Chains A and B, each alone.
Chain A
């Protein structure tokens, strides 16, 4: 009896600790969102308050009316879409070839992708400025997307390979017996089986590009500027204007948060598979 009560008390305590930890962890972002809805002057009120005294969209209007901000959103979307499509188109066949046939070339590609991940982005980014310049891709979403593919593609290959591992060989064999070509079997039979994994991988590729900063800083100036750069420029151009900055930061985080919530379980599966097996 007392033993059971003690155990229950301990579990209750653990729950309390867990809730407190998560609350502290969530606080910075919640505070960002709350601040973005304060009237512009209250963002840097002394002393700061957590809750808005008055709900206001001023910060959003100010942020979106700044020159180049809406264009930067368009650039961010198009760059991320190009990088995602390119990475997936290349990673799907590669990852399947690697997991299904276990060739030496496949192992080399896997190891190569891992090595690419070790390379500091500056080391790749600086020479890419001249290379993309020679191709006429300076300051274009396509050029930036190509650079970001160096991040998104290795990531996609590793994640997809871990999802393909779980596909029973019989599925492909059955498709081949039915007269399907190997590549057709991949596209029409294998891919639907791992559609969840493909979706998670695509989301990671998208976010890798969406959140990327260094290549965007090196490779774009005006026309192809993405929102992370616009956010960074906010301070130098207009002084430290915290209110609109919190609004822009909140807006830019919406896709990331929504995608995470939508695919939460699969993302957990994908990340842990990739890391634990990797």
Chain B
């Protein structure tokens, strides 16, 4: 950037097309011009997101497969099904549990590592780079990789645990086929992939805290944990809130990581809502219920995110 930055500042652009010059002189107001700049993106988003969502809402009011055979208006029946179906309710519960597991693990780990890097200063840059790379890896690859690490008998995780004496034999823990354990196991790749993101964001937040605030707190006798709880964490609050909202929303939508590891099994023990909706649509060919469930899912997500933004983040209050 430095090279281009030096070259770029004010210089004449000799042959600006005459046509554009004329239009500017005629004077498109700033607001009109800004709207014109944003219009194509807005139109594309409306077409590719708004329209599908309208279609989704319409589909949620019909039963029968989408191909016209027996498709009929059903009012709110699908919503009733979505709200009362035991499988869908269980999936909603698991989605919440999965989100809490992922986000808690990431926040604790991410904060610990961010504090460590912050303490070590800029010399830890190489370590930071290595810590960053999982962020770029495809979730499907990460899911597959962790499945490979966690295979009962030949997986390296159980082998290492056996060698250090935690397990008696590598076959003792079945990470991905034990229904009580599987929700935690499938969360591992997600935690591995995105703790980097948490660390990165929290590290940037830590860098932004003015050092004299620490100095003042130190003069007041704050040390270690006390410093963390009464100075650092309150100051990081908006940053933590943003990170939690972004990651919470993503974790709740988790699909590929779980699909590739367990396909929701065993006995649906790791089936979160995105998988349930996908299966309702593709395997059970029930687009009405799938549409109603997704509509409810989306409404809940937006409400939670909005409440999150308004209560924890409190935009505008800081600045």
Give the interface of A toward B (CB within 8 A). Answer: 11, 14-15, 17-19, 21-22, 25-26, 28-29, 31-32, 35, 44-48, 50, 86, 89-91, 93-94, 96-98, 100-101, 103, 105-106, 109, 112-113, 115-124, 126-128, 130-131, 146-147, 149-150, 153-154, 157, 170-171, 174-175, 178-185, 188-189, 192-196, 207, 210-211, 213-214, 228, 231-232, 242, 245-246, 249, 252-253, 256-257, 259-261, 264, 266-268, 271-273, 275-276, 278
When C-beta atoms are compared, the residue in chain B nearest to A93 turns out to be B37
Q: Determine how close the nearest CB of chain B comes to the CB of A50; give it in whole angstroms.
A: 7
A47 touches B242 (CB 8 A): no
Residues from chain B with a CB closer than 8 A to the CB of A184 are 13, 16-17, 20
Residues of B in contact with A, size category: 35 or more
Residues of A within 8 A of B274 (CB): 120-122, 214
Secondary structure of the B side of the interface? helix
Contact A275 B41 (CB under 8 A): no
Q: In the complex, how many angstroms separate the beta carbon of A182 from the nearest chain B beta carbon?
A: 6
Q: List 20 A-B contacts (CB under 8 A).
A: A14-B120, A18-B116, A25-B195, A103-B30, A118-B302, A121-B255, A127-B53, A153-B41, A153-B45, A184-B20, A193-B4, A211-B138, A231-B140, A231-B144, A232-B259, A264-B129, A268-B128, A271-B200, A275-B200, A275-B201
Flag if A207 contacts B136 (CB, 8 Å). Answer: yes
B113 CB to closest chain A CB (Å) equals 6
Q: Does the CB pair A213–B256 fall under 8 Å? A: yes
Q: Please give, as numbers and ranges, the residues of chain B lying within 8 Å of A154 by CB-CB distance.
A: 45
Q: Does B177 contact A (CB under 8 A)?
A: no
> Is there contact, CB below 8 Å, between B23 and A31?
no
Q: Is the CB of B37 within 8 A of A213?
A: no
A123 touches B53 (CB 8 A): yes
Which chain B residue lies CB-closest to A275?
B201
Q: Which residues from 245 to 304 on chain B have a C-beta closer than 8 Å to any C-beta of chain A? A: 246, 249, 252-253, 255-256, 259-260, 273-274, 277-278, 281, 287, 290-291, 294-295, 297-298, 301-302
A45 adjacent to B5 (CB under 8 Å): no
In the complex, the answer to whether B277 meets A147 with C-beta atoms within 8 Å is no
Which B residues are in CB contact (< 8 Å) with A185?
13
Q: Which 6 A-B pairs have the closest CB atoms?
A: A97-B37, A272-B204, A174-B10, A101-B34, A181-B20, A196-B1
Most buried by A among B41, B119, B141, B204: B41
Closest to B205 in A: A276
Q: List chain A residues, Cβ under 8 A from B56.
A: 123-124, 126-127
Assess whether B138 is in contact with A252, with CB atoms less than 8 Å apart: yes
Q: Is the CB of B41 within 8 A of A157?
A: yes
Distance in angstroms between the alpha carbons of A150 and B41 in the assembled complex:
10
Q: B36: which A residues are within 8 A, CB to CB?
A: 97
CB of B64 within 8 A of chain A?
A: no
| Chain A residue at minimum C-beta to C-beta distance from B282 | A218
Q: With A105-B35, A122-B294, A157-B41 known to touch, is A260 a contact of B10 (CB < 8 Å)? A: no
The residues of A that contact B31 with a CB separation of less than 8 Å are 101, 103, 105
Query: Is there contact, CB below 8 Å, between A90 and B44?
Result: yes
Q: A179-B12, A257-B133, A276-B205 are in contact. Are A124 and B170 (CB under 8 A)?
A: no
